[in-house]
Structure 1
Amino acid sequence: MFLFRSPLRGFFFVLVALAFSGNVTGAELVRLKDIGKFSGWRENALVGYGLVTGLANTGDSPNNKATRQSIANVLAQFDVAVQPDLVLSRNVAAVMVTAKLPPVARQGDAIDVTVTSIGDARSLVGGTLLTAPMKAPNGKVYALAQGALFVGGYKYDMNGNVAQKNHPTVGSIPAGAIVEVGVQAKILSRENTMTFTLTDADYTTSSRIAAAINEAFGEQLAKAEDAEGVQIRVPEANREYLVDFVTRIEKINIEPDTRARVVIDERTGTIVSGGDVRIAKVVVSHGDLKLSIITDNSVSQPILVRNTAAEIRTETVSNSRVNVSEKSESGYVSASNNTVADLIQALTRIKTSTRDIISILRAVKAAGALRADLIIQ
Structure 2
Amino acid sequence: MKRLLIAVLSLSVLTADAGQRLKDLVKIQGVRSNPILGYGLVVGLTGTGDNSALTDQTYRNLARELGITLAANARPGTDNVAVVTVHADLPPFAKPGQNLDVTVSSMGNAASLRGGTLLMTPLKGADGNIYAVAQGNMIVGGFGASGEDGSSIQVNIPSVGRIPNGAIIERAVPNGFSQGDEIIMNLHEADFTTAQRVANAINDLLGGGVAAPMDAISIRVTAPRDPSQRVEFLSLLENVEVEPDAFRSRVVVNSRTGTIVIGENVRLRPTAITHGSMVVTVTEDPAVSQPGAFADGGTTEVVPQSTVDIEQTGGRMFLFGPAVTLRDLVAAVNKVGATPSDLMGILEALKQAGALEAELVVL
> Compared with structure 1, are the counterparts of its residues 131 and 351 closer, same or farther at alpha carbon in structure 2 (3 Å cutoff)?
same
Q: Which runs of 5+ in 2 are unaligned?
A: none
Counterpart contact for 1:12–1:269, Cα < 8 Å? yes
Counterpart for residue 267 of structure 1: 256
Hey, what does 2:319 align to over in structure 1? 334
Residue 14 of structure 1 aligns to a residue whose secondary structure is coil
3-state SS of 2:324 partner = coil
Q: Give the direction of change, closer, same or farther, for the CA distance of 1:60–1:362 in structure 2 (3 Å limit).
A: closer
Question: Aligned partners of 1:61 and 1:316: how far apart in 2?
Answer: 60
CA distance in 1, matches of 2:42, 2:72: 17
How far 1:9 moved relative to its partner?
3.2
- For the Cα contact (< 8 Å) 1:283–1:334, is it kept in 2? yes
Counterpart pick for 1:244 among 186, 210, 232: 232
Aligned to 1:154, which of 140, 143, 153?
A: 143
Q: Separation in 2 of the partners of 1:363 and 1:146?
A: 56
Q: Which secondary structure does the structure 2 equivalent of 1:213 belong to? A: helix
The correspondence of residues 18-97 of structure 1 with structure 2, limited to 5 A, is 18-19=11-12, 26=16, 28-61=18-51, 63-64=53-54, 65-76=56-67, 80-83=68-71, 85-86=73-74, 88-90=76-78, 91-97=80-86
Shift of residue 209, structure 1, vs aligned partner? 1.5
Contact 1:67 1:93 in 2 (8 A): no
For residue 62 of structure 1, report the CA deviation from its aligned partner. Answer: 6.8
TM normalised by structure 1 equals 0.84
- Asked if structure 1 preserves the Cα contact closer than 8 Å seen for 2:249 and 2:264, the reply is no
**How many pairs does the alignment contain?**
358
Q: Aligned-residue CA RMSD in angstroms?
A: 2.8
The runs of 5 or more residues in structure 1 that have no matched partner are: 1-7
- Superposed displacement of residue 48, structure 1: 2.2
Instruction: Give, in angstroms, the shift of residue 197 of structure 1.
Output: 0.7
Q: Does the Cα contact within 8 Å between 2:41 and 2:83 map onto a contact in 1?
A: yes
Name the aligned partner's letter for residue 119 of structure 2.
L
Deviation at 1:89, TM superposition (A): 4.9
Shift of 1:132: 1.9
Distance 1:173 1:274 in 2: 41
Identify which of 175, 183, 189 aligns with 2:165: 175
Which of 286-295 and 330-339 deviates more? 286-295
Specify whether residues 122 and 85 from structure 1 end up closer, same or farther in structure 2 by C-alpha distance, changes over 3 A only.
farther
Deviations 1:106-136 (A, max 9, x none): 3332111112233454432211112222222
Deviates more, 1:83-92 or 1:313-322: 313-322
Cα shift at 1:184: 6.5
1:107 to 73, 96, 102: 96
State percent identity of aligned pairs.
37
- In 1, the alpha carbon distance for the partners of 2:57 and 2:228 equals 52
Please give the secondary structure, in 2, of the residue aligned with 1:161.
coil
Hey, what does 1:232 align to over in structure 2? 221
Aligned equivalent of 2:125: 136
Contact 2:60-2:70 within 8 A present in 1 as well: no
